[in-house]
Each structure stands twice: as structure tokens, then as C-alpha cells.
Amino acid sequence: MVPERNEEGMERSSNGRPGLPMMNLRRLRYFSLLARELHFGRTAELLGITQSALSQQIKALEGDIGTDLILRRGARGLELTRAGRALAAEAHAILGRCEHLVARVREIGAGRMGTLSVSFSPSGPLLGQRDFMERFTTRYPGIEISTSLGCTARNVERLLDRDVDVAFVRQVAGPPPVHSLVLSEPELVAVLPPGHRLADAPLIDRGQLRGEPAVLCARHLGAEVYDHVIEQVWGGSGPRAVREEPDHENVFAAVRQHRGVAVLDRPVAEDGERDGIVTRRFAPPVPRAGVCLAWHSDRVDPVVRSLVDLAKEHRHFIRTRKRGRPQRR
């Protein structure tokens, strides 16, 4: 409901009493400086305006508020009225808060301040997701980040439901309006049970695994990366049999029990290399699987845009580092 106004333009509340005046912040700033200097000439010079213009602004401010603020004296200069002294006591703090608010809003608009909700994938710490977010928080300390955890399929659901702003997924996952950007493509390696016939091979040709049963994280957790791994390693015919497990720890346990061989990201595989399990690298062309940052295309606010921009820098850095460093064997 639009508030009523009296003939002077002042709002009236529902009970008929005058409401709050629309105070002009520029006039308040002029008055605050004048209240400090108590001299029209000096104040006008500091503001870079004429004394006449300053006097008009002060009169307009008195009109806005509805009371006198300045007693115009002669040789003794200016003196504030009781109302003027009350306004001067608060004006500096009001202006300071307004400047702080404007600065904060500008930082939010530029994507340097705000909030961001992020969902990691389970292998996040091993695949550089947490390190990437640490780079982001170092660059933008004014952004408050909340985190959660989910598999690729769950993270895509959260994006579609707008429960999170961004999420980490495997491969380029998710239908429009989910967009994604590949951050890195970790090398995939074979994870073999104790005593496996290929345990001592320096490099494995992918054809050597064609007849082997596979142990993989369940497809419903991330269909894109699941299919990508099978296609790269076993080809169109696929493995002889597939045992699906709910997470990496269960994959390692199944491999240890000779249920099959697994193919995992090298950092994840080497982290679980214990109790006789061995990892072996593939001969070129080396299979890889993407780690992607994903976001809802209809929700690209300034903070998300800042994160995506950093992701593009990060991807360029990873690729440059790979070109400048020989591959380890």
C-alpha cells in the first residue's frame, strides 16, 4: 500500500501521524561537514561548491526534516540548534554505515563477497577439488562457503533442484540447464588383487583386461563416468562380468577378495594400495576421466561467475603444467 503524503510531501502513517522524511544523503553529508566547520565559506571550499549552493542544500535539508538546524550568527559564526546538534551527533555514523553498505553491495555485485554452496564428490580431496576451493577462498576471503557431499548423480539432482550453487561431477554430466567445465583429467590405472598375473607388468595394455571381470562403483552413482571407463578400457564388448559397489572402499575390498579388477583414478587407487593390492598404469593412449565443475545455467550470479572464471584459469594452469613436465612412469 502506497503511503499517503501531506501537502509538504511528507509521508503519513496509517494512524495519520507524519512518517519518516526522505532524507537526502548528499544534503546530510553537507550538513555533517558544516556542523564540524561551523563556517559556510570553509565548508563550501572543502566541498568544491559555492556558498550559495551550500546554503540552498542546508535549507532544503531543514525543509525535508521540518525543523531548523542552524542558527545563523554574525561575528561568532554559526551555531547548531538543539535539533541540529542531535542530527550532527548521528550523521557521521549514518553516513559511515551507508558508505559501508554501498561498498559491500559493490563487492557482492562484482562477485567478491556473498555466499556459495558447494557439493563435493566423494573423491574430492584426492582429486584436487578441495585444493581448488582453497584457491578460491584465498582469492575471495569475503565469500562464505557451505559444503556438502554427493555422488555425481546426486550432485546433478541438487543443481537441478537449486539446492546448491555449484557441484563437482565426473565427466561432463547432466542435461541442460546444467553446465559443466572440465577442471582436470586424472589418469586411470588398473587396481589388481594380490598375486594377479599382471601385478609385475611395467605397463598394462588395455587388451590384457578384456577377459577380466570388473569391480566398479555402481552405475547409478554416475552413469557418464561408469560408461566412459568401460568404453576406454574394455571397449564395446565390455568386461566379462561387472560387480558394482557403493563406494571406493568397497571396491578395494572386492578386489582384495579377487572378485575382479578395478579401474580408478590414479590418486584414489594409490591411496588404497595396501594389503597386497597393486596398481598398474596403462600403456598409451592413457585412459582418463574428467573432474568437472558444474552449475545451473539459470543461476549464474556474480559469485558463481567468479568461481567459473577461476576454474578456467585452473584448467589452463593444469594443462600448462602437464606440457612442461615429463610423464612419470
Q: Angle CA(100)–CA(105)–CA(111) in degrees, nearest 5?
A: 130
Domain ranges of the chain: 4-109, 114-184+290-324, 188-281
CATH architecture type of domain 114-184+290-324: 3-Layer(aba) Sandwich (3.40)
Kind of pairing, strands 188-192 and 278-281? antiparallel
What pLDDT sits at residue 180? 92
pLDDT in tens, 148-185: 999 999 999 999 999 999 999 998 766 789 999 999 99
Closest CA to 40 of 67, 59, 66: 59
Q: Does pLDDT of 299 surpass 70?
A: no
CATH architecture type of domain 4-109: Orthogonal Bundle (1.10)
Average pLDDT, stretch 4-19? 45
Q: Does pLDDT of 10 surpass 60?
A: no
Average pLDDT, stretch 78-107? 87
Task: For residue 5, name the pLDDT band (cuts at 50, 70, 90).
Answer: very low
Closest CA to 173 of 145, 150, 147: 150
Report the amino acid identity of residue 128: G
Query: Would 114-184+290-324 and 188-281 be classified into the same CATH topology?
Result: yes
Distance CA 224, CA 245 (A): 16
- Which residues have CB under 8 Å from 173's CB, separation 6+? 152, 153, 156, 180, 222, 224, 225, 292, 294
Distance CA 187, CA 16 (A): 74
Closest CA to 229 of 269, 176, 180: 269
195: left (phi over 0), alpha (psi -120 to 50) or beta: left
pLDDT in tens, 222-274: 999 999 999 999 987 889 899 999 999 999 999 999 999 999 999 999 999 98
Size (the chain), residues: 329
Average pLDDT, stretch 54-76? 86
Read off the pTM. Answer: 0.71
pLDDT in tens, 94-139: 888 888 888 778 877 777 778 999 999 998 889 999 999 999 999 9
Looking at 3.30.565.10, 3.40.190.10, 3.40.50.920, 3.10.20.30, the CATH number of the domain 188-281 comes to 3.40.190.10
User: Where does 257-301 have alpha helices with state H?
Assistant: 266-271
